[in-house]
């Protein structure tokens, strides 16, 4: 079918070439994911599971945000989006696939598959026995509750199926236009409050609990807005692709201008939430909170600033100009950059926590057998290994400890003289803690020397996305587009009986 006929029928055709491209991307992603498991050595299993979690959460979240986009405009009597509403409607149908992907991770966590203990510290039964903070959080952070998130995604998928069915059925009978619109508003009104609470619950389980000792009241907002901006960007990119095939002629520069304003506005809002979270934690300077940003700033500094550059600085100064939001090339470039940028944002949300868990687990498992090691508060800095200890201060807070690698010594007379800094209030500073070896009964520091393993080196796939990580992302993108294009083909792109179609076609800003 040529493009002229496609435009006349308002029908997208998912042809063999497109199926080969998207399917090929999916296979490349699968190969990269498997290669990560077998080729990355010491960290392979942790990187494998964190990559699977990262991409499953990101693309499931983008699909959820597409459903949210439809529901928000439906309940608000919005009509400007109708000419391209089939795109977000198709994107939200990825949710069942997302439920399967999350289920794979959840079952692996429940079965304690190798590598998942570094993904979530609360899944490590040995650490749970000695970690008071994890014990207090265990009613919420445990494999059973984690698996409930699969039911959450399944509920989202059910709402997506109902709303899409009502929308598509409008094309069959003009009488269903108004009737189905009211039904869609009914289901959207039910979905939105469910979405608000359940998305926070899911994000806390999937992403925030990777840093199990940390918490933030802003995190659910911050991470959700990241997905929202990504979904807006991907909607615009798919619309641009369809227009390159002479489809969606009703999508004009006015619609593009509104989508550009959306991306611009919520990029600023994302930055506001990022800064609010960072500034409040920095100002309060509580150890159980500051460790989150300290690790990311000290060990992941390039990504820390790249994240802000891609997701705020470039979109802000580019889309600030009104003419830029009406230029397809400019808006399309920014949309692609922002979508990738927020994938990096989720990388930065997850990978430092996995690395911290890896280091923390090594220390905890070692200290369980060598409890004669002593750690005191010091003033040394620039140590890249961070961890929370299991002690609590007088306020009941877990104190922050950053371990350095001690130099072995055989002088046992120094074991008590280096602890004078212990009177320092550890909640008033994020200065690292130095490890001082304490002599055992034989007067040696053999165990302290054995404990001083160096794991602070740069690891591709954790400190920075590597080729395998980018290949995995392309694979998930290919799978996402394959599902989206499959559903785009199943319905006309022109919702001829939607009551707001005329308003959308004559939309002006």
Per the domain annotation, does 323 fall within a domain? yes
Question: What average pLDDT does the segment 463-491 reach?
Answer: 96
Distance CA 278, CA 282 (A): 6
Is residue 301 located within the same domain as residue 426?
A: no
Number of structural domains (the chain) is 2
- Considering all CA atoms of the chain, what is the largest pairwise distance in Å, rounded to the nearest integer? 91
Residues 367-378: pLDDT tens digits? 555 544 343 333
Is residue 410 located within the same domain as residue 476?
A: no
Share of the chain above pLDDT 70, in %: 79
Mean pLDDT of the chain: 83
**For helices 44-75 and 328-369, angle between their N-to-C axes, nearest 10 degrees:** 130
Per the domain annotation, does 4 fall within a domain? no
397: pLDDT strictly greater than 70: no
Residues 183-198: pLDDT tens digits? 999 999 999 999 999 9
135: pLDDT strictly greater than 60: yes
Is residue 372 located within the same domain as residue 360?
A: no
Per the domain annotation, does 479 fall within a domain? yes
Residues 279-327: pLDDT tens digits? 999 998 887 789 899 999 999 999 999 999 999 999 999 999 999 999 9
- Per-residue pLDDT, 363: 67
Is residue 330 located within the same domain as residue 471?
A: yes
Share of the chain above pLDDT 90, in %: 66
The pTM of this model reads 0.83
Per the domain annotation, does 3 fall within a domain? no
Per-residue confidence band for 447, with pLDDT thresholds at 50, 70 and 90: very low
384: pLDDT strictly greater than 60: no
* Contact assessment for residue 262 and residue 232, using Cβ atoms and an 8 Å cutoff: yes
- Per-residue pLDDT, 179: 93
Per-residue confidence band for 125, with pLDDT thresholds at 50, 70 and 90: confident
Question: What average pLDDT does the segment 106-134 reach?
Answer: 88
Is residue 344 located within the same domain as residue 272?
A: yes
Among 417, 436, 451, the domain-final residue is 451
446: pLDDT strictly greater than 60: no
Residues 334-362: pLDDT tens digits? 999 999 999 999 999 999 999 988 887 77
Is residue 254 located within the same domain as residue 381?
A: no
Among 451, 467, 482, the domain-final residue is 451
* Contact assessment for residue 299 and residue 463, using Cβ atoms and an 8 Å cutoff: yes
DSSP 378-446: ---------EEEEEE-TTSPEEEE----PPP---GGGTTTT-GGGGS-GGG--PPEEEE----TTS--H
Is residue 392 located within the same domain as residue 482?
A: no
Distance CA 60, CA 96 (A): 9
Residues 44-96: pLDDT tens digits? 889 999 999 999 999 999 999 999 999 999 999 989 999 999 999 999 999 99
Per the domain annotation, does 289 fall within a domain? yes
Is residue 318 located within the same domain as residue 432?
A: no
Is residue 55 located within the same domain as residue 67?
A: yes
Is residue 416 located within the same domain as residue 429?
A: yes
Residues 218-238: pLDDT tens digits? 999 999 999 999 999 999 999
Per the domain annotation, does 509 fall within a domain? no
Is residue 150 located within the same domain as residue 193?
A: yes
Per the domain annotation, does 403 fall within a domain? yes
CA torsion, points 14, 15, 17, 21, in degrees to nearest 10? 20
Distance CA 46, CA 349 (A): 15
Is residue 410 located within the same domain as residue 466?
A: no
Per-residue confidence band for 6, with pLDDT thresholds at 50, 70 and 90: very low
365: pLDDT strictly greater than 60: no
Per the domain annotation, does 22 fall within a domain? no
Give the domain extent around 120.
27-364+457-502
**What does residue 286 show for φ and ψ, rounded to 5 degrees?**
-90, 135
């Amino acid at each position: 079918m040529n493009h002229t006929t496609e435009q006349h029928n308002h029908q997208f055709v998912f042809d063999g070439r497109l199926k080969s491209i998207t399917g090929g991307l999916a296979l490349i992603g699968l190969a990269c994911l498997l290669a990560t498991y077998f080729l990355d050595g010491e960290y392979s299993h942790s990187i494998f599971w964190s990559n699977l979690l990262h991409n499953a959460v990101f693309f499931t979240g983008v699909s959820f945000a597409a459903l949210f986009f439809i529901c928000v405009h439906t309940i608000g009597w919005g009509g400007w989006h109708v000419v391209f509403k089939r795109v977000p409607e198709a994107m939200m149908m990825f949710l069942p696939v997302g439920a399967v992907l999350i289920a794979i991770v959840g079952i692996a966590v429940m079965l304690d598959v190798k590598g998942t203990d570094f993904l979530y510290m609360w899944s490590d039964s040995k650490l749970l026995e000695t970690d008071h903070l994890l014990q207090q959080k265990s009613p919420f952070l445990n494999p059973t509750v984690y698996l409930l998130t699969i039911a959450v995604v399944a509920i989202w998928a059910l709402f997506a199926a109902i709303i899409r069915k009502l929308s598509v059925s409008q094309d069959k009978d003009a009488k269903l236009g108004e009737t189905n619109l009211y039904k869609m508003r009914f289901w959207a009104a039910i979905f939105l409050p469910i979405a608000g609470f359940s998305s926070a619950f899911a994000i806390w389980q999937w992403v925030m609990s990777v840093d199990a000792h940390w918490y933030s009241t802003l995190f659910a907002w911050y991470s959700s807005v990241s997905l929202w901006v990504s979904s807006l960007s991907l909607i615009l990119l798919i619309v641009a692709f369809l227009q390159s095939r002479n489809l969606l002629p009703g999508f004009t520069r006015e619609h593009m201008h509104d989508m550009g304003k959306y991306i611009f506005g919520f990029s600023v809002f994302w930055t506001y939430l990022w800064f609010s979270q960072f500034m409040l934690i920095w100002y309060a300077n509580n150890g159980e909170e500051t460790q989150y940003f300290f690790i990311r700033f000290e060990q992941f500094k390039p990504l820390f600033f790249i994240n802000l550059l891609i997701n705020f600085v470039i979109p802000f100064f580019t889309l600030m100009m009104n003419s830029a939001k009406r230029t397809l090339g400019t808006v399309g470039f920014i949309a692609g950059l922002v979508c990738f940028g927020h994938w990096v944002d989720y990388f930065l949300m997850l990978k430092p926590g996995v690395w911290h868990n890896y280091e923390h687990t090594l220390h905890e498992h070692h200290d369980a057998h060598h409890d004669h090691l002593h750690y005191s508060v010091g003033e040394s800095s620039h140590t890249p290994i961070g961890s929370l200890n299991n002690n609590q201060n007088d306020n009941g807070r877990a104190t922050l400890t950053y371990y350095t690698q001690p130099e072995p010594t055989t002088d046992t007379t120094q074991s008590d003289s280096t602890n004078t800094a212990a009177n320092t209030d550890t909640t008033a500073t994020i200065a690292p803690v130095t490890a001082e070896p304490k002599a055992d009964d034989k007067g040696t520091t053999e165990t302290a020397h054995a404990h001083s393993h160096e794991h602070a080196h740069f690891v591709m796939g954790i400190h920075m996305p590597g080729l395998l990580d980018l290949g995995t992302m392309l694979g998930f993108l290919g799978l996402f587009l394959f599902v989206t294009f499959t559903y785009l083909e199943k319905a006309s792109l022109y919702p001829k009986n939607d009551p707001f179609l005329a308003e959308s076609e004559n939309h002006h800003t």
